[in-house]
Structure 1
Amino acid sequence: MKQWMGRVMLVAIGILLGAVFMPSQWRADVQRQTADATAEARERAALWAASQSDRVDARASLFVEFPGIVPAIQRGGAFGGSFSRAIATDIFNASEEGIADARRLSRIEAVAPNTWIIYMPLVNAVVFETSEGLVLVDAGMAAAGPVIRELIADVTEAPIHTIIYTHCHVDHAYGTWALMDDDPHIVAQADLPACFDRYIELPGSLAKYMGQPESSLPASRDDLVYPTQTFRGEMTLTIGGEDFVLRARPGETEDQLYVWVPGRKALATADYYQGFLPNTGNGKRVQRYPEEWAGALREMASENATLLLPAHGEALTDPAVIQENLTVLAEALEWVIAQTKKELNNGTRQDLVYRALDVPEHLLTHPTLNQQYVSWEDISKMVMRRYVGWWDDIPSHWTDASFDAQAAAITELAGGVAALDRRARALMDEDIVMASHIADWAWFGNPGDPVAQRLLIDIYAHRIVNTESNTQEILAWLEAMTQARRLQLAAAEGGAGAGSE
């Protein structure tokens, strides 16, 4: 295998060098041959690298073959912060590698007197010091817990009095295990414990849709730190003579809340504000609440804060910028909601509702509404999900054939996998969305076919590196590519004995 790889690479280099001296009319053919040779070499190198590992890592081999995948994920996958692969791919686990990354990539920054923001991979936490001790808003993911403790100790000796969970997600409420030395109060909205319980009840499903190892998810309540106090609606905590106003408004989760500190004119905004088009339309997560989300943003804007401390992205200290950014995001969500309801009331077929969006230019181009994580259409789909049933208005979809069976029938009608392969590749640069449908038909109808496997990988690799692709769809495509690569690796292992050198 090693010798074969070397030969392919030498051929590719030779073609490149020869092209310099060839007549110009030959160069187009040479460039095509070079691309073919180097692509094949990358594929062989990736398969060989994976085969040398004790644990065959199909996804890692894709990263070798397609170097553009990781930067594409990092464009939005860092969620406004720094990126750690060790944390992102095993976020429930306080691994040594994850803790080391958190230690290397995290920092604590003073943003006002006795007020700090802790920037970590993927997420932030907020620290307020009072005469009774510290109020910590969020506790990061599992690997962040020890680092939060260390960073706080760098700036103050005060104990942690209270930890406020803004919501139940793992990047906000999983580092608490390392922060319990001072026996802090832990406060959350009343629906948070049920959300924690879902981690225990649905580990396989959550692992699949979050791209995490199932073994790292909590096995029992002992693996989580539950709140000591819960509330609904609104609650004011008075700590060290200061009021901390907790307002629970459904948004990214049912249990989400934000914290208003009137004495400091400071807002800890949780995930309501993220500095980009927020995680309001995630197709791999449970229901989001765009209407209440927009209401919370309007409510926050009415406080005229001078300090905005988000759970993702940079702190804001200009009151005018804070006002504008909260207001424009509220307007954006309200616009999508109104347009979606309008189309539903018009009787528009569901798959056409979100296609009817014509986003106003001032929203489409606003710097804080970048589509790096989800799209406008994704948000519309989430709005629809709240108001309509599971049927999508296509008659055959009420009682349908499996997608695999449909794909096999389409493959037969098209004249086989090779015909689908030719058509999809012809459309790659012209209509990548349709090319993806064709690749899906080839793959789901014929998953054992090497041509179908290769087609799926190539089409979605091409789509991933497109700068218009957002993080959530990239991760979905990467998972499909990984499944195809696993079958390739299994076939390569089965035939490894024959013809090897």
Structure 2
Amino acid sequence: MRPDPSASRPQTPPDDELMDGSDTAASEALRSIDHLFARQFVDLTDRVCVAVGYGVSTFSFVLGDTGIVAVDSGSLPGESAAAIAELRTRTDLPILGLVYTHGHPDHTGGAAAFLDENPDIEIWGIARFGDEARRFGRNGAHVARQRGLRQAGFLLPPEKRINNGIASAIYPEEGTLAQGPAGGPDPRALPNQTFETRATVSLGGVTLEVSYNPGETDDQIMTWFADQRVVFAGDNMYRSFPNLYAIRGTQYRDVRDWCESVDRIRAMQAEHLVLGHTIPFSGAAEVDRALDVYSRGLWHVYNQTIAGMNDGKTPDELAHEVTLPPDLAADPLLGEYYGNVSWGVRAIYSGILGWFDGDPAHMNPLHPRDRAGRVAALAGGVDVLFERASEALAAGEAQWAAELADMVLALGHRAHEALVLKADAVDELAYNMVTATGRNYLHTCAQELRAEAASMIEDPSS
């Protein structure tokens, strides 16, 4: 869902850093989905309970005759303990097993609460569990943690956050922040039962079929409870256009794999569909409709991007040209609350062809500082660039203002003013963006730019 710019508040530079952007179309669009992740303990069937809004992710309990198997552990130990307490109002059966749909910390971070219940719990995960975290660690890409904090909005004041697109704007519990993209679950909570592609989990009268189903991560699985035709999709589906690329930085999320995995979920013909985030779907017709919409949306973006690549289009062109067809763009299930179509297009391009867009002029481009100097000379000087940037922001052209401000900064001229101007432009972009991760990232960067500008006043030599 891309808001109509004409419906947004006037795009003037925000003087008050604590403005909440409450009257932008983008902000209203995000607020309209808050009900999808309000805290609720859903009795999906007489044997499946789903904890929604207990932390960032959705997790579930499958009840058997003599025990319980959980699917995912939630994101925060305290929140997961609260969900277990609610479960205890329904049954005192022991929790014998825990199945991880994948290794992201928002699905594994609550495991301590399950270990408190049963220190000998069986924990199931695919053999490649945690591949993404291992790759970050192996390559020393520590920058991903800082970018992850920006994306999550953890460095922002609450008034700058609405929600995160698929969950409430929750902050980490004390001592859990280190579990970022390059981190992982408590070492005690790593899987002690693993499988390569497919397995059967049988505990306490519960039988679950688990199978490899790559998508948002390469360690993603599908979990199938055949007795009541409940499928657990993990993060291959939630009520938003999928996050085909995480702006914190990530390896290529193979989009064709993701499309095929959604189709495998649909082929189960489930009566109930539990998502990795937001409330589940119930009823065979509603489940099938949702999966049909999701499948068509993913395949459309993938196929149109491939077609554009084959026509010689660059990623910059395709990011603006590939859009969902009107019927899918209007479906709330594909609103760009968490994932973003244009970011997905760029990911597909780079994931398949790499960084080079095929244009010979882009094979060895000028250093940004050199390019800025030449553009400044054409414009009539760096002061002219700065004035044009100011005019662009006043005219509501925040993206162009930010790009011009970057050129001024590259030349080391009027640095304090350019930092503040870029911060204003970046904040304005954030207020008018629906995608929550993008809003968070932009607002955080604006905050950092203002801090840098303030430090220049305190220390003029910096």
Shared fold per TM-score greater than 0.5: yes
- Note the C-alpha offset of 1:222: 8.7
Contact 1:134-1:161 at 8 Å conserved across structures: yes
Q: Which amino acid aligns with 1:206?
A: A
One-letter identity of the residue aligned with 1:216: A
Q: Which has the larger displacement, 471-480 or 293-302?
A: 471-480
- 1:121 Cα shift? 3.5
Deviation, 1:210, is 0.4
Kept in 2, the 8 Å contact 1:139–1:148? The answer is no
Verify: 1:188 aligned to 2:125, yes or no: yes
Q: Given that residues 307 and 318 in structure 1 are in contact (C-alpha distance below 8 angstroms), is that contact kept between their aligned partners in structure 2?
A: yes
- Cα deviation, 1:289-313, whole Å, max 9, x if unaligned, reads 2212221222222222121111211
- Please list the CA deviations of residues 150-203 of structure 1 after superposition, one character each: whole Å capped at 9, or x if unmatched: 333333212211111111111001111232131211111111143343465547
Name the amino acid aligned to 1:130. G
SS at match of 2:96: strand
CA distance in 2, matches of 1:442, 1:154: 62
Partner of 1:29: none
Q: Please say if residues 69 and 461 of structure 1, whose CA atoms lie closer than 8 Å, have aligned partners that are also in contact.
A: no
* Contact 2:55/2:74, CA 8 A, preserved across alignment: no
Counterpart pick for 1:210 among 140, 148, 172 = 148
Residues 246, 215 of structure 1: CA spacing in aligned structure 2 closer, same or farther, 3 A cutoff?
closer
Q: 2:426 aligns with which of 457, 460, 469?
A: 460
Give the Cα separation in 2 of the matches to 1:439 and 1:124. 41
Structure 1: distance between partners of 2:306 and 2:184: 40
Written as runs of structure 1 = structure 2, the 5 A alignment for 1:377-456 is: 377-428=342-393, 429=395, 431-446=397-412, 449-456=415-422
Shift of 1:364: 1.4
Q: Distance in 2 between matches of 1:220 and 1:331?
A: 34
Pair 1:159 & 2:124 matched: no
1:228 is displaced (CA, Å) by 0.7
SS at match of 2:101: coil
What secondary structure, in the 3-state scheme, does the structure 1 residue paired with 2:278 have?
Answer: coil
1:68 aligns with 2:15: no
Go from structure 1 to structure 2 and tell me whether the alpha carbon gap of 1:76 and 1:122 turns closer, same or farther (over 3 Å shift). Answer: farther
CA distance in 1, matches of 2:112, 2:23: 31
- Give the CA deviation at 1:320: 1.3
Counterpart residue number, 1:260: 224
1:139 aligns with 2:73: yes
Q: Could you list the runs of 5+ residues in structure 2 that have no partner in the other structure?
A: 1-9, 156-175
Work out the CA distance in 1 between the residues paired with 2:108 and 2:82: 14
Query: TM-score if structure 1 supplies the norm length?
Result: 0.74
My pick for the range that moved more, 142-151 or 367-376, is: 142-151
Q: Which runs of 5+ in 1 are unaligned?
A: 1-31, 43-61, 84-104, 496-501
- Amino acid in structure 1 at the alignment position of 2:202: T
Matched length: 416
Q: Within 2, Cα distance between the matches of 1:268 and 1:295?
A: 16
Once the two structures are TM-superposed, the CA of residue 128 in structure 1 deviates from its matched residue by 0.7
After alignment, is 253-262 or 426-435 more displaced? 426-435
Give 1:460 deviation, angstroms.
Answer: 1.5
Shift, 1:404, TM fit = 4.1
Q: CA RMSD in A?
A: 3.2
Per-residue deviation, 1:117: 0.8
Contact map agreement 1:443 1:456 (CA 8 A) in 2: no
Give distance in 2, aligned partners of 1:154 and 1:403: 61
Instruction: Give the one of 71, 86, 105 matched to 1:170.
Output: 105
> 1:491/1:392 Cα in 2 relative to 1: closer, same or farther (>3 Å)?
same
State the AA in 2 paired with 1:294.
C
State the Cα distance separating 1:417 from its structure 2 match. Answer: 4.6
Is 1:128 aligned with 2:75? no
Q: Which amino acid in structure 1 is aligned with residue 276 of structure 2?
A: A
Contact 1:122 1:312 in 2 (8 A): yes
Q: Secondary structure at the match of 2:385?
A: helix
Secondary structure, counterpart of 2:276 in structure 1: coil
Tell me how far apart the structure 1 counterparts of residues 278 and 407 of structure 2 sit (CA, whole Å): 39
Query: 1:81·1:122 contact (CA, 8 Å) conserved in 2?
Result: no
SS at match of 2:296: helix
Match of 2:253 among 260, 280, 288: 288
Change in CA separation of 1:402 and 1:230 when aligned onto 2, cut-off 3 Å: farther
What's the counterpart of residue 16 of structure 1?
A: none
**SS in structure 1 of the partner of residue 234 of structure 2:** coil
Q: What's the TM-score once normalised by structure 2's chain length?
A: 0.80
Kept after mapping to 2: 8 A contact 1:200/1:217: no
Counterpart residue type for residue 124 of structure 2: V
Corresponding residue for 1:243?
A: 207
CA deviation profile, 1:233-277 (whole Å, cap 9, x unmatched): 222222334431112111000000121111111111111221111
Contact 2:102–2:129 (8 Å) recurs in 1: yes
- Percent identity between the two aligned chains: 21
Instruction: Tell me by how many angstroms 1:344 deviates.
Output: 1.7
> Cα offset for 1:208?
1.8
String of CA shifts for 1:125-161, please: whole Å, max 9, x gaps.
1111112311111112234343344333333212211
**Structure having the larger proportion of residues in helix:** 1
CA distance in 1, matches of 2:250, 2:28: 20
Q: Note if contact 1:417-1:442 (Cα within 8 Å) is conserved in structure 2.
A: yes
Of residues 49, 59, 80 in structure 2, which corresponds to 1:116? 49
Conserved in 1, the CA contact under 8 Å of 2:369 and 2:410? yes
Question: Aligned residue for 2:170?
Answer: none
Name the counterpart of 1:499: none
Do the aligned residues in 2 keep the contact of 1:266 with 1:305 (CA within 8 Å)?
yes
CA drift at 1:396: 4.6
Question: What is the CA–CA distance in structure 2 between the aligned matches of 1:399 and 1:69, rounded to whole Å?
Answer: 43
Report deviation, 1:215: 7.3
